[in-house]
């Protein structure tokens, strides 16, 4: 990823784009369940701290009814922060929904991230980016999809991360027009988001938040997606696409 080229690229040490996409397609074919990872609240323009609840469960039906477990959540710096605030490890994830490597990372690590937050080992900071808008044939898919997630997280947070997973399970190819607004609505409703909330996606009410999140990522020196950090240290290379590697690194960081 770069600000000038507006293309995604694999992390340093990763495999080739063709091989990554082949692995992504093979893994996607094995995915049959949508996991839910939900949080309450969205960050504002200034630093804010809000104590709330996060629900993280497993969705086993098309309605997306989640099992629940209480968690503390703070929202700050244009990021969704999920998990216990005193968790010993912070996992920061920078993603763009048009980036194929982001989808591969999410699918490979979904279950491990769920487990790490559920047992209090880690909290997750999710940073939404839209630098790949120019790669969606004028539809601004990166902004539209991220806006939709923010909309769900604000209104019906219990379905936010199930929706995140659904987008990645149906991720369009980079350079295509992406999913339409109607397709995003259908995915959201498929995991349980209400008609009233999903009907507002096209309003782009949270586009400014997405733009701010993208700008904050650039200001933080983010150069590629996905960028993953464990307690501020880069977690890089092809290992980020291997289930278990991130979990092991986080557990080592926790001590």
* Secondary element (H or E) of residue 80: strand 79-82
**CATH number where 49 lies:** 3.40.30.10
Domain hosting residue 164, numbered range: 17-254
Residue 73 to residue 200: CA distance in whole angstroms: 25
pLDDT exceeds 90 at position 219? yes
Residue 34 to residue 43: CA distance in whole angstroms: 25
Average pLDDT (166-192) is 98
pTM over 0.85: no
The residue count of the chain comes to: 255
Give the tens place of pLDDT for each residue, 134-168.
Answer: 999 999 999 999 999 989 888 888 888 889 999 99
Residue 84 to residue 118: CA distance in whole angstroms: 9
215-221 CB contacts, 8 Å cutoff, 24+ apart: 216/77, 216/78, 216/127, 217/94, 217/127, 217/129, 218/3, 218/131
Considering the domain boundaries, does residue 6 fall inside one? no
| Interacting residues of 197 by C-beta distance below 8 A, sequence separation 6+ | 151, 152, 155, 156, 188
Token duo for residue 32: 């049959």
**Structure-model confidence comparison of residues 154 and 198, the more confident one:** 198
Considering the domain boundaries, does residue 209 fall inside one? yes
pLDDT in the model for residue 225:
97
Torsion angle of C-alpha atoms 230, 235, 239, 241, degrees rounded to 10: 80
User: Average model confidence (pLDDT) for the chain?
Assistant: 78
pLDDT exceeds 50 at position 66? no
Helix axes 141-155, 207-219, angle to 10 degrees: 110
Considering the domain boundaries, does residue 201 fall inside one? yes
pLDDT exceeds 80 at position 49? no
Give the tens place of pLDDT for each residue, 83-117.
Answer: 888 999 999 999 999 999 999 999 999 999 989 98
pLDDT exceeds 70 at position 54? no
Token duo for residue 169: 């399970």
DSSP code of residue 204? -
Considering the domain boundaries, does residue 12 fall inside one? no
How many structural domains compose the chain?
Answer: 1
**Structure-model confidence comparison of residues 155 and 9, the more confident one:** 155
pLDDT in the model for residue 174:
96
Q: Which residue has the tokens 């701010």?
A: 212
Q: Which residue has the tokens 């092991």?
A: 248
Give the tens place of pLDDT for each residue, 72-89.
Answer: 333 557 887 878 889 999
Average pLDDT (120-144) is 96
Q: Which residue has the tokens 């790949």?
A: 132
Considering the domain boundaries, does residue 3 fall inside one? no
**Is the Cβ–Cβ distance between 149 and 102 less than 8 Å?**
no
Token duo for residue 78: 């244009």
Lowest-confidence range among 47-56, 121-130, 140-149?
Answer: 47-56
SS3 of 47, please?
Answer: coil
Considering the domain boundaries, does residue 171 fall inside one? yes
Considering the domain boundaries, does residue 195 fall inside one? yes
Considering the domain boundaries, does residue 8 fall inside one? no
Residue 139 to residue 180: CA distance in whole angstroms: 8
Torsion angle of C-alpha atoms 151, 49, 161, 100, degrees rounded to 10: 90
């Amino acid at each position: 990823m770069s600000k000038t080229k507006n293309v995604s690229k694999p992390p340093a040490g990763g495999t080739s784009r063709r091989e990554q996409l082949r692995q992504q397609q093979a893994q996607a074919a094995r995915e049959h369940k949508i996991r839910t990872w939900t949080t309450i609240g969205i960050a504002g323009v200034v630093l804010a701290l809000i104590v709330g609840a996060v629900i993280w469960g497993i969705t086993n039906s098309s309605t997306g009814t989640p099992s629940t477990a209480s968690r503390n959540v703070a929202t700050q710096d244009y990021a969704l922060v999920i998990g216990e605030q005193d968790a010993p490890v912070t996992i920061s994830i920078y993603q763009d929904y048009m980036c194929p490597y982001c989808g591969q990372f999410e699918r490979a690590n979904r279950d491990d991230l769920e487990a790490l937050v559920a047992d209090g080992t880690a909290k997750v900071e999710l940073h939404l980016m839209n630098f790949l808008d120019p790669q969606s044939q004028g539809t601004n898919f990166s902004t539209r999809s991220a806006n939709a997630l923010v909309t769900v997280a604000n209104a019906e947070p219990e379905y936010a991360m199930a929706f995140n997973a659904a987008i990645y399970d149906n991720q369009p190819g980079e350079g295509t027009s992406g999913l339409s607004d109607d397709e995003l609505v259908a995915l959201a409703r498929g995991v349980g988001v209400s008609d009233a909330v999903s009907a507002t996606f096209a309003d782009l009410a949270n586009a400014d938040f997405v733009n701010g999140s993208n700008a904050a990522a650039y200001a933080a020196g983010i150069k590629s997606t996905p960028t993953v950090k464990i307690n501020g240290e880069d977690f890089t290379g092809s290992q980020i696409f291997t289930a278990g590697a991130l979990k092991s690194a986080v557990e080592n960081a926790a001590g």
